[in-house]
Amino acid sequence: METKSENRCHGGVQGVYSHASQACGGAMTFGLFLPEEAADAPVPLLWYLSGLTCTHENAMTKAGAQAWAAEQGIALCFPDTSPRGDDVADDEAFDLGQGAGFYVNATAAPWAPHFNMWDYITAELPMLLGRNFALDMERQSICGHSMGGHGALTIAMHHPERFRAVSAFAPIAHPTQSDWGRKQFTAYLGADETAWAAHDATLLMRERGFDGPVLVDQGTDDNFLDLLMPEALAEAMTARRQEGAFRMQKGYDHSYFFMSTFMEEHVAFHAEALYR
């Protein structure tokens, strides 16, 4: 593992690190914020999964999460959204290929050799973090935005024993029925739609729900509402009587201005679960 940078931040340290990834077949970069408490003892970990076109850097520099994480004594991990490099498959469209891993393990060519973000987020990176940093891996929580909200919800519902809470900002809520999903699942997983269901938050909510609290915030002025399909997830949460809240925030769009506005509430939501 290589240290790219480390900066003092809200009493703690915001680091950026790279490492050779077996899951993704190349170098991967992630950001990790450690509050000052990590100098004395392992601290809980909150994952933040970013959306389309993002790297590890977008949320790290725009979401304003470190201030609230420092207040709660929580670490933040900002992974990248896909493998990258000259030898990694890509597409001219912004919503497929590099920057658009969709948090799945690709099984179809030409994506399969590198696009294994599910294994990277759920297995490889957690192991690396646990071995190298002062983190309490028994206390984890997860959140994300847009494509990352999709990833956070689906990963949490598959691993409820690992995550104490899950939250999402404007998640891609029903990808098997949306152009933000059908296009990518066809490319990464093939045309057999039965393989897609495991990565659809609405279908997973209907089938199993989450054994813990869920918080979803969606802006009413989001220009991608038709692609996100938030109403499907809201209906599934209500039908399942899922613990948590689905909130429509009047006037907010899909940008980091939206996320930074409600980030304090999301970090506090996770802190309550992590310190319960």
The pair of three-digit structure tokens given for residue 233, joined into one six-digit string: 């997830």
Considering 146, 150, 174, 266, which one is annotated as catalytic?
146
Q: State the pLDDT at residue 190.
A: 97
Structure confidence by residue, pLDDT tens digits, 60-88: 999 999 999 999 999 999 999 999 999 99
- Closest alpha carbon to 25 in 95, 104, 110, 87: 87
User: What is the number of structural domains in the chain?
Assistant: 1
Q: Residues 84-109: what's their mean pLDDT?
A: 97
Q: Residues 116-122: what's their mean pLDDT?
A: 98
End-to-end CA, the chain: 33
**pLDDT reading at 276 higher than 90:** no
Q: State the pLDDT at residue 64.
A: 95
**In sequence order, what are the residues at sequence separation of 6 or more whose Cβ sits closer than 8 angstroms to the Cβ of residue 129?**
32, 45, 77, 135, 137
Considering 80, 200, 217, 222, which one is annotated as catalytic?
222
Structure confidence by residue, pLDDT tens digits, 205-252: 999 999 999 999 999 999 999 999 999 999 999 999 999 999 999 999
**pLDDT reading at 202 higher than 90:** yes
* C-alpha distances out from residue 210 to 10, 66, 179, Å: 32, 26, 25
Please indicate whether residue 159 is annotated as part of the active site: no
Please indicate whether residue 226 is annotated as part of the active site: no
Q: State the pLDDT at residue 30.
A: 98
Enter the pTM of the model.
0.97
**pLDDT reading at 270 higher than 90:** yes
Question: What residue type is 148 in one-letter code?
Answer: G
Average pLDDT, the chain: 98
- What range defines the domain where residue 241 resides? 2-274
Please indicate whether residue 146 is annotated as part of the active site: yes
The enclosing domain of 259 has a CATH number of 3.40.50.1820
Considering 174, 254, 266, 270, which one is annotated as catalytic?
254
Q: State the pLDDT at residue 209.
A: 98
Confidence of residue 25 (pLDDT cuts 50, 70, 90): very high
